Chain A
Amino acid sequence: MKLERLGIENFRGVKGSYTFEPEGNNAIIVGPNGSGKSSILEAINFLLTNDIRQLDREGMKSVRKQDVIPNVHANGDCVVSGVFTDNKRDTRVSVERSTDSTELEPPEGDLPDSLQRTIDTALQGQHILTRDDLLDLIIAQPSSRREVLSELLDLPAIDERRLALQRTRKALEDQLEKAEASRQTATERLQELAETEASDSTAIRKDALETINFLRTSFDGVPVDEIDSGTVRDDIESPAEAVSTQALQREQPQKELNQFAEWIGELRADLPEQIDQLDDLVNKFREREASEISASKLELLELGEEIIDADADVCPLCAQDWRGNGSLLEDVRHRREQLHELQQIIDNIDQLQDNLRKNFERGLDYLEYLTKVLEEDEYPEVEILSEFTTALRQSTEMISGNLLGDTDFKPLNLPIVESEDTDISASIEEAVQTTNSLKSTAEDLDDISDTEQRYERLKSVADRWEEYESLDAKVHRLDSLVSDAETAESAFIAARREVIGDIYDDITDRVETYYNSIHPDESDTSTSITVTETGAELQKEFYDAGEYPPHSVFSEGHLDSLGLCLHLALADYLQQDEKSLLLLDDVVMSVDQSHRLEIAQMIAKEFAEDYQVIITTHDELWAEQLSSQGALQGGPQIRLREWSFDGGVKESRGYIDVYEQWETVEEAIKDDEMERAAHELRYATERMLQQCAVSLGGKVEYDPRLRHTLSDFKDSVCRRLDTLTGRAKNNLDQSDEMFTEANDLDNEYGAVLNEVGQQLNKVNRRVHWTPGRWLTLSPDEFEEVFEAHKAAYDLLYCDECGSCIRYEEFGGDYHELRCNCRGHYDIQWS
């Protein structure tokens, strides 16, 4: 849809209200820096997107919208409203947005599809291009460029699917790596068990099977063809079954017996001393208890020692006089030291009691196992060990009780001590001898550990082979899966590259078309955006020197024009369904005058008709170039004056439409206001000749004050027409109609423009103030002036399309002198 009218209130640089009325046409807004041009474009942007471009830039995250969008000096609400119409002007929609609400009014859901599409395009950011954004895509890293393009094409979901494939492939690779490591560990175990150095599956299996059959044969088993851990020991008796039923031939009983022998040996050596210590400690404890030294008084004595002075003679607790020997403090200290000693005895008894109990329990564990496991073998030693077990169990129970509270307890009464003479314990001695007897018996029996090992190894080889076989199969499956995942990922990348590559080709075709029309000398060079692994590579052919990233070889002006072309190509590609707004904010700053003319022609040719192009600039000449080349398509030029805080945006009398201006002159004549008519006539003529000078590419002598006069433009047009008609005639056949057309123009322009000059002198004498009086001009006198100027207009402007005569050069060897529609002039030569 096209913008008919934009109402701006208290937005950015606009204080109060300002109305911009392009009426669905293209428009150019001309004005000096800070005059409010960008505010108008940003108001359109805000209306459509609820955002402004400045806030998209780096360092703006902390800036709040509501702080910078409303005009800082305004009191009223910040509101932007717009009226949009479709191409046929059948549909007219009014929308409004204020900074007080994030919603558009009416809501987007209630808008017609065409305006919704315009908003969607705006949300992609391709409706507006500013100077700052111009090079974003040119100098971006390939990955960032791809990201931006992907966002523009709304394809992040595609990238997410590719990443899912990539993550899947990597996860499978990780699993494969782990499976390979596990298989390597299993291989090494198997190599050790089967005593082989083979590393491939077939050879490992062969060696493992040979080992298994060797072991089976050693047990009188028959060889097998398959390795099966469940059946590998079938038809083979276990060593226990095959060799002996005696427990002492087996590994675990032997181990337990040896450990018991070690334990009882230590008990015999250490117990007498431990019993002596315990007996001594118990006796000391009982003596202290008998002297009424109670451990419970220790805390009281410690407190007393702290608070009693050295010379105190009254007890602070009972308030009685101290009558003892020595000082009260010394007595308390002495008694406290005695109590400390008693506490130490108690602690030592507890520690010794605990050690004995644990040691006895350990011995009981051995004895219980041995008496049980040896019972079936009917060794005579078992009875002795059982008796010792009973004595040890009773001793354990006694030593676990409250030793200090049991006044009958005596360590020497423990059943395993059984003697007043602690140096010799009969039961322990007997247990030691019995243990030694059993060890001798075990040593006399055949050793079956080697047989057991072989028997176990037989099973282990089969187990390890199955583990290896399972891991080997897993590795092969994962390997195949990784390969399939890689293939799928490559296929996806290729599919994406093919489809998106086609899109990029389409876009770059457009870029080339636009760029080459601006730089015809580079028409043989190509531009490419290529999908790569890392992103989207942008390359531009630099004459015959190959392709490079543009910013590595091109000048600033070339880069700006390429950036503009890329932006326009993207906008055009994306807006196929709904060609609406193109907002260009001061985008040709670095482009020279002649190339600006080419850009104006390109915009006129490619975009002016289908899009509503709204351009801002501070450059009057660029505005003229756009207008003269047809980029405005009859749309308005808005001229803004210097902006101020108090006044905000102000329009100046700026753009003059030559055709309309004649009507203004005629109205003044009709009203018999000759002086006003003369003034308006000067405007019309000056504007007419200025436009023609620009359209023809005429040179105007440089004026540092930039105040060119009407004569400057007239002289420029004359010189240029003289040159161009001369060239046309020199290069055209005299029989050619175009030669005649050029010749007629050549013959006519001189007289017509000369007459304009003559008639202007009449006006000048009357419209310029002469000291002392104003001169007047009669209607008859002015009629001649008017006719002379109208004749010039008729010569230089086309009645059909309203454009003035213009000159175009194509690659230096093809030239045209024509109006936009070619109805008035169409002179072509090579």
Chain B
Amino acid sequence: MVDPGASSDEIRGEIFDSFASRIDEDDIDEDIAETILTEILADDPPHEFSDELIATIGDNDEA
């Protein structure tokens, strides 16, 4: 839980930590989870990242 008066960076950090741990616990494909976390937690998040996710699947298929 964030302290009262926490900065927006602290609040964001808390939300991201909670999100990352939930993603870890959920039954999501590892590569997909990694892509989502990378994109979402980026400093400059993309408008959307469906192409990146599909590319991840493509990589899996090739593998």
- What residues of chain A have their CB less than 8 Å away from a CB belonging to chain B? 153-155, 157-158, 160-161, 164-165, 167-168, 171-172, 175, 477-478, 480-481, 484-485, 487-488, 491-492, 494-496, 498-500, 502-503, 506, 572-577
Determine if B62 is an interface residue (Cβ-Cβ < 8 Å). no
- Complex interface: chain B residues within 8 A of A495 (CB): 15-16, 18-19, 22
Cβ B32 vs Cβ A484 within 8 A: yes
Cβ A175 vs Cβ B12 within 8 A: no
Cβ B15 vs Cβ A496 within 8 A: yes
Selected from A480, A498, A503, A573, the residue in CB contact (under 8 A) with B18 is A498
Selected from A168, A477, A487, A503, the residue in CB contact (under 8 A) with B26 is A487
Known: A160-B45, A175-B50. A573 touches B57 (CB 8 A): no
Write the nearest CB–CB distance from A179 to chain B, whole angstroms.
11
Supply 7 A–B pairs (Cβ within 8 Å), ascending by A: A155-B12, A165-B36, A172-B50, A175-B50, A485-B50, A494-B18, A576-B5
- Complex interface: chain A residues within 8 A of B7 (CB): 154
Write the nearest CB–CB distance from B6 to chain A, whole angstroms.
8
Cβ B40 vs Cβ A161 within 8 A: yes
Cβ B5 vs Cβ A164 within 8 A: no
Write the nearest CB–CB distance from A717 to chain B, whole angstroms.
42
Q: Please, how many residues of chain B have a CB less than 8 angstroms from a CB on the other chain?
A: 36
A503 to B54, CA, bound (A): 36
A448 to B58, CA, bound (A): 44
A175 to B48, CA, bound (A): 14
- Complex interface: chain B residues within 8 A of A575 (CB): 5
- Complex interface: chain B residues within 8 A of A168 (CB): 48-50, 53
Write the nearest CB–CB distance from A471 to chain B, whole angstroms.
14
Write the nearest CB–CB distance from B34 to chain A, whole angstroms.
11
> What string of 1s and 0s marks CB contacts (under 8 Å) between B22-52 and chain A?
1100111100110010011000011111100
- What residues of chain B have their CB less than 8 Å away from a CB belonging to chain A? 1-8, 11-12, 14-16, 18-19, 22-23, 26-29, 32-33, 36, 39-40, 45-50, 53-54, 57, 61
- Complex interface: chain B residues within 8 A of A573 (CB): 4-5
A46 to B28, CA, bound (A): 52
A567 to B4, CA, bound (A): 15
A592 to B56, CA, bound (A): 65
Selected from B12, B27, B53, the residue in CB contact (under 8 A) with A485 is B53
Write the nearest CB–CB distance from A120 to chain B, whole angstroms.
10
Cβ B48 vs Cβ A171 within 8 A: yes
Closest to B37 in A: A488
Q: Beyond the given A168-B53, A488-B33, could you list 8 further A-B residue pairs with CB under 8 A, ordered by the A residue number?
A: A158-B12, A164-B45, A165-B40, A172-B54, A484-B33, A484-B36, A491-B23, A506-B4
Cβ B5 vs Cβ A577 within 8 A: yes
A288 to B61, CA, bound (A): 82
- Complex interface: chain A residues within 8 A of B46 (CB): 164
Selected from B2, B22, B32, the residue in CB contact (under 8 A) with A491 is B22
Across the A-B interface, the 6 shortest Cβ-Cβ residue pairs = A576-B5, A154-B8, A495-B18, A491-B22, A495-B19, A171-B50
Cβ B40 vs Cβ A491 within 8 A: no
Write the nearest CB–CB distance from B39 to chain A, whole angstroms.
7
Write the nearest CB–CB distance from A123 to chain B, whole angstroms.
13
Tell me which of A160, A485, A575 has the highest count of chain B C-beta atoms within 10 A of its own C-beta.
Answer: A485
Write the nearest CB–CB distance from B40 to chain A, whole angstroms.
5
Selected from B11, B23, B36, the residue in CB contact (under 8 A) with A499 is B11
Cβ B19 vs Cβ A491 within 8 A: yes
Tell me which of B22, B40, B50 has the highest count of chain A C-beta atoms within 10 A of its own C-beta.
Answer: B50
Selected from A492, A506, A574, the residue in CB contact (under 8 A) with B40 is A492
A503 to B12, CA, bound (A): 12
- Complex interface: chain B residues within 8 A of A157 (CB): 8, 12
Cβ B53 vs Cβ A155 within 8 A: no
Cβ B48 vs Cβ A494 within 8 A: no
Cβ A161 vs Cβ B29 within 8 A: no
- Complex interface: chain A residues within 8 A of B47 (CB): 164, 167
